[in-house]
Amino acid sequence: MQVMIPSALRSYTESGQAEAQGATLALLLDDLESRYPGIRFRMVDEQGRIRRHIRIFINGTQEHDLARALRDSDEVIIAQALSGG
C-alpha cells in the first residue's frame, strides 16, 4: 500500500510516498524499516509507542494503536506535528 511520508522523514525515502506492506500498523512500520533503515526509530520510541510528535492517520482517522489491523486498500498518512511559538 502507499504510505504518505512527511518532509522530515523524506531523507530516508527520498519521496513523499513509500510502498509498504503489513497486516497491522506495527508490521507496516517494520516493513518501512526494512526498506528504509532507521525510519521506524524516528516514529516509534523505545517503549514501542508512537512518538508524541508523530501522527499516523488511517483512512483519515488518527491512530495510536500499533496493533491496528490494516487492509491493502487503506490510506496511511504519516505526519509530523509542528510546535513552536
CATH of the domain at 50: 3.10.20.30
Residue 85 lies in a domain: no
Would you place residue 81 in the very low, low, confident or very high pLDDT band (cuts 50, 70, 90)?
A: confident
Tell me the sheet residues that pair with 50. 44
| pLDDT tens-digit readout, 40-64 | 999 999 999 999 999 999 999 999 9
pTM summary value: 0.91
Instruction: Decide the pairing of beta strands 76-80 and 54-58.
Output: antiparallel
Instruction: Scan for cell 500499533, then name that residue.
Output: 66
Residue 51 lies in a domain: yes
Segments forming the whole domain that contains residue 27: 2-80
